[in-house]
Structure 1
Amino acid sequence: MTTIDRRAALRTGAGLVAAGGLSAACTPSGAVPHPEHARAPGTPRTAGTPRTAGTQNPAGTPGAPGTPTSPAPSSTPGGPAAPRRFPGRPPQIEHGPRTRPRVALTFHGNGDPGTAHALLAEAERHGARLTVLAVGTWLDEHPALARRVLDGGHDLGNHTQHHVGVNDLPEREAYAEITDCAHRLTRLTGSIGTWFRPSRAARASPLVERLARRAGYPHVLSYDVDSLDFTEPGAAAVTRTVLDRIQPGSIVSLHFGYADTVAALPAVLEELDRRGLTAVTATELIR
């Protein structure tokens, strides 16, 4: 075990025990895919099949078969942040301004909730704010995590309902993937969330980009640093990958559900501090 691994393990071990431990990660067999093509940790290969007829409204009542319903209003008075339009920024945002000493650590919200609690707690100990793009079925299973993210001062956004290859779906099904997750977020928090990120892809297809905009998200949140934490390369490798590539304005893709990510985060945050880089939400990074 390297020095980084030992230090990270000592700092995060107690939190993981308190949170209930970590689940085994799952990735497809064969060649290493893009991180968004990995299955969520602990889910079977058959999970996550989208519905092909009907969606649900915010109250959970089925809509007319084959007719995607529209999201509820994106915010309530005094409620959490809703999506913002950033004039001059492209429809798909890969990084923020390079002239300010800020970065955004973004996490795909899925998998064992114990890792989510551990990562949020570690970030808050360092005064860092994260961006969590949540999968709708994950919110269904762990609804309290939506408020936990927001109460910690972090961004909470949409990562589709079933974490399927949204770019490969027909229009009706792709739109349902976006709006169904938006409905979950609205029901739990009063907002459709601050950002949309496509599942199993770094960037949205032109169709999905248009559908996200129709659903109320002016921008798609991409990234310029891929941690590759889903490949479970070890905490030291995750740390090295992030720190070798990160620069002012970077948006980093990470995941809940993987022990390597939990173990790597303390060293990543310590080195960001040493470099004078502050981890802020994606909204804070772009504005």
Structure 2
Amino acid sequence: MRIIIFKRPSWRNIVLWGILLFVLVAYRENATSVFSGKLKPIYSATVQTQSIGLTFDISWGEKTAEPILDILKQEGVHATFFLSSPWADKHQPLVQRIVLEGHEIGSHGNRHIDLNTLGALEIENEITTSQQVLERITGHSIRLIRTPNGAYNNKVIATAHKLGYRVIQWSVDSLDWKRPGPGAVINNVLNGIQPGHGAKPGDIILFHASDSAPDTVQALPTVIKRLKDKGYSLIPVGKLLAESSNTWPPESNLKEEPIAPAN
């Protein structure tokens, strides 16, 4: 018969385990996510409708936004515009036109920098600074954000969620900012950058209305017509989320109460 002798753990090990337990308790919500890597933005939604989210990012320029608004008005389509606050502050009449014509406004941050390079307090300052500017101009509550360059990590998602935001990415990328030509932009949306991955219900399409994407103006009417011909409806992201039963990836389905970010 073997006799198993359990050794008493050393005081050093007890202290280390105590510290780890304290950290897990103090930051239990965010710690779980950090260790499991399960904080994600929303790329698409599960819907029982034929709806697709249409989005435009704007961070600079004034030549592209107005023609895009003209096209959307002519087609009777509404979208979400993610605006950087310095651009919005500089182009207030244009922002007010976006709102008056029934489009949704989301935040594209303050400075156009990767938020995942910042500490939690800096991230919070970037988000709240942009929010104050956008809400002052639009008179609407801002609760959707697309981070600059789509950059994120657990800290970015948790901080945004703490502030009441949903972080929005995209599942269909037009790559219009690369200026590939209108035909390529149309193909990227309708058929996908990889064949067979074109826009379908629940997807979120990324366009830019900055002057860096002049091809969008020429491509957009064809994209809208082809998607309408398939029976799809192009709508703002907020409306798409209201129609959805859940979002993708599963890690983007954060619980209702805010998650406390790590400092």
TM-score with structure 2 setting the length: 0.71
Task: Name the aligned partner's letter for residue 181 of structure 1.
Answer: S
Aligned to 2:164: 216
- Secondary structure of the residue that 1:114 maps to in structure 2? coil
Aligned to 2:45: 96
Q: Is residue 127 from structure 1 mapped to residue 70 from structure 2 by the alignment?
A: no
Q: Return the offset for 1:162.
A: 1.2
Q: Could you tell me whether the CA contact under 8 Å between 2:107 and 2:146 is conserved in 1?
A: yes
Aligned to 1:277: 232
Task: Name the aligned partner's letter for residue 226 of structure 1.
Answer: D
Q: Return the offset for 1:190.
A: 2.5
Q: Which 10-residue stretch deviates more, 192-201 or 235-244?
A: 192-201
Task: Name the aligned partner's letter for residue 223 of structure 1.
Answer: W
Q: Is residue 110 from structure 1 mapped to residue 63 from structure 2 by the alignment?
A: no
Identity in percent? 31
Q: Return the offset for 1:104.
A: 1.1
Q: 1:226 aligns with which of 173, 187, 193?
A: 173
Higher relative CO (Cα under 8 Å, sequence separation at least 6) belongs to 2
Q: Distance in 2 between matches of 1:161 and 1:91?
A: 21
* Structure with the bigger percentage of helix: 2
Rg larger for? 2
Deviation readout 1:168-205 (Å, 9 max, x if unpaired): 1122222211111001012112234241111112x631
Deviation readout 1:6-47 (Å, 9 max, x if unpaired): xxxxxxxxxxxxxxxxxxxxxxxxxxxxxxxxxxxxxxxxxx
Task: Name the aligned partner's letter for residue 250 of structure 1.
Answer: D
Task: Name the aligned partner's letter for residue 275 of structure 1.
Answer: K
- Secondary structure of the residue that 1:247 maps to in structure 2? coil
Q: Distance in 1 between matches of 2:207 and 2:160?
A: 22
Counting matched residue pairs gives 196
Task: Name the aligned partner's letter for residue 63 of structure 2.
Answer: G
Q: Distance in 1 between matches of 2:104 and 2:152?
A: 20
Q: Is residue 171 from structure 1 mapped to residue 123 from structure 2 by the alignment?
A: no
1:112-261 matches, within 5 Å, as: 112-201=61-150, 204-217=152-165, 219-244=166-191, 245-257=198-210, 258-261=213-216
Aligned to 1:267: 222
- Secondary structure of the residue that 1:156 maps to in structure 2? strand
- Over aligned residues, Cα RMSD in angstroms? 1.6
Deviation readout 1:119-154 (Å, 9 max, x if unpaired): 111011111111001001101211122211111111
The structure 1 segments of at least 4 consecutive aligned residues displaced by more than 3 Å after TM superposition are none
Q: Return the offset for 1:117.
A: 0.9
Q: Could you tell me whether the CA contact under 8 Å between 1:183 and 1:192 is conserved in 2?
A: no
Aligned to 1:38: none
Question: Which stretches in structure 2 are left out of the alignment for 5+ residues?
Answer: 1-38, 192-197, 243-263
Q: Distance in 2 between matches of 1:108 and 1:286?
A: 18
Q: Could you tell me whether the CA contact under 8 Å between 1:159 and 1:196 is conserved in 2?
A: yes
Question: Which stretches in structure 1 are left out of the alignment for 5+ residues?
Answer: 1-89
- Secondary structure of the residue that 1:178 maps to in structure 2? helix
